[in-house]
Amino acid sequence: MMSEYKRLHPISAVANFLKQLKELIIPFVLLFVLNSRGEKSGFWDYMPLISMGVVLVVVLAAGVIKWLRFTYRLEEGELRIEYGLFVKKKRYIPFDRIQSLNFSEGIIHRPFGLVKVKVETAGSSSPRESEAELTAIMKEEALELERIIYREKKGQAVEAVEGLASKEEETLKEEKHVFKMSGRDIWVLAATSGGVGVILSGVGVFLSQFSDLIPYEAVFDEVMVFVKSGLVFIAVLVFIVLLIAWIISVAWTFVVYGDFKIRLTEDNIVITRGLLEKKQVTVPLNRVQGIRIVENPVRQLLGYCTVVIENAGGSVLEKDSSTIKLIPVVKKRRVPDLLQAIFPDYELSEDFKLLPKRAVRKYIFRASFWLIVPVVILAIMFWPLGLFSLLLIVPFGLLGYFQHRAGGWGITGNQLALRYRGVLKHTAYMKKSRIQALDSRQTWFQDKRDLSSISTTLKSGQTGYSNRVDDLELEDAAEIYHWFSHE
């Protein structure tokens, strides 16, 4: 099997230019601000602006040269790529090492029917060295590339394709639609996330870049006048700012997670989402190491949760991470049926063995003991009003109490389930064959009360992902350890 060398679409040169330009925005803004001060009297006064123009031309030229020197082809069971600005480099990726091709359609891709293809490989301690990226190719070419690699990996001959319509019909036959996020689900996701805080933080960082231009002292003086004239106005102003931030957060959530779908093929989970920038990630089923159901306090009260999977590799949806949000938000009662369709070999039981009651004091102490020193300092410095700081211990003590109530474990055949809480409640389901390590630990204090802790490590990224439950019955920890260490 051989194909001719192909180039990326010319729009990739524009994409390279915009990528480099994004990194130059702050230096350009600083040069522009500095050059705008004072009167211009000669050639050298315009030198910063001329330098900016020269840099833009050089960056654009570099983007065009990179596009001209980047070629790819399929040959002898390999994806062969040649690239390089000054030094020509070659990268050959065997089909049997390619785990998946992940597609994304940015704003500059969609009008031209293009996609960006990220090639995910396996078997390397540093996965990014084995990955390749085709910045912009036609969507039909990307689908054909995926189909050829899939068939070659299966050891089948590549058949002639009679057009895009027949390709899509074949794809539909192989796929099973599992889940689509509704508008109501996206509303819940937006309302129960930290998006407002992110928006406000982003505005704060943006404004901090212009501290020399904005007269903050004068603004502060004006604000103080308003404060003296009435707190009602300030309260209304704060409410309006928070409302606008919330609206932006909700709108952005719809942009990012709009049209969220999960499809299931013979060997892969295919996740697509996004309105402006459409992304698709393909997760091979054999790379899924475990499942976690995550509930924050607000979503738990509303009966919603998030389903994440630990993946033995990275992803497009979760940048620089191996933990993938399989379902960003969904009614918890729907989770067993949804996951049964994707992972029929997992059993999502809620039958957990709880932690012993005598461990509750350890949880409460562990959650609140770090407040002792600050509370004592505040009590001494602001006596006697400082004694009110003792009330801070109450919410953290309650957190410890709920952490104890959440803790539990269960074994079903060759599957281990652990349930624990920090602020978020986690329920992890793991197959014995996927657990890289299981540790049973006992401190001096636990030894006095016949308690022990259990932690598991799954293959996920470079360091793995750990699940831990503290203060189990000693005999329960021994049962779990025995289950893992014996057939």
Q: What is the DSSP string of 268-337?
A: EEEEEE-SSSEEEEEEEGGGEEEEEEEE-HHHHHHTEEEEEEEESS--SSSTT-SEEEEEEEEEGGGHHH
| 420 plus 479 within the same structural domain | yes
- Whether residues 16 and 95 share a domain: the answer is yes
254-279, pLDDT tens digit by residue? Answer: 988 988 999 988 778 889 998 888 88
Could you tell me if 333 and 369 lie in one domain? no
pLDDT of 261 = 92
Tell me the three state secondary structure of residue 265: coil
- What is the number of alpha carbons within 13 Å of residue 176 lying toward its C-beta? 10
Same domain, yes or no, for 159 and 169? yes
Pairing of strands 278-284, 98-105: antiparallel
Domain boundary among 136, 153, 174: 174
Q: What pLDDT does 215 receive?
A: 53
Residue 422 lies in a domain: yes
Given the DSSP bridges, would you call strands 89-94 and 435-441 parallel, antiparallel or unpaired? Answer: unpaired
Among 406, 431, 421, smallest CA distance to 483 is for 431
Residue 82 makes CB contacts below 8 A (sequence gap 6+) with 5, 69, 70, 71, 72, 88, 89, 90, 91
Nearest to 141 by CA among 93, 97, 103, 177: 103
Residue 1 counted as domain residue: no
Pair 369, 480 in one domain: no
The pLDDT, as a whole number, for residue 31 is 67
pLDDT under 50 in the chain at which residues?
Answer: 2, 124-130, 156-173, 196-203, 205-214, 216, 315-321
Q: Looking at residue 130, what is its pLDDT? A: 44
Give me the pLDDT at residue 326, please: 92
Strands (E), 230-274: 261-264, 268-273
Domain assignment of residue 50, given as a range: 6-174
Instruction: Identify the bridge partners of residue 4 per DSSP, sorted by sequence position.
Output: none
Kindly state whether residues 382 and 415 are assigned to the same domain: no
In this prediction, residue 103 carries a pLDDT of 84
Q: Which of 223, 257, 291 lies at the terminal end of a domain, its last residue?
A: 257
Render pLDDT for 314-341 as a digit per residue (tens, 0 to 9): 544 444 447 888 999 999 999 999 999 9
380 and 274 inside one domain: no
Closest CA to 245 of 200, 193, 187, 186: 200
Q: How many domains does the chain have?
A: 4
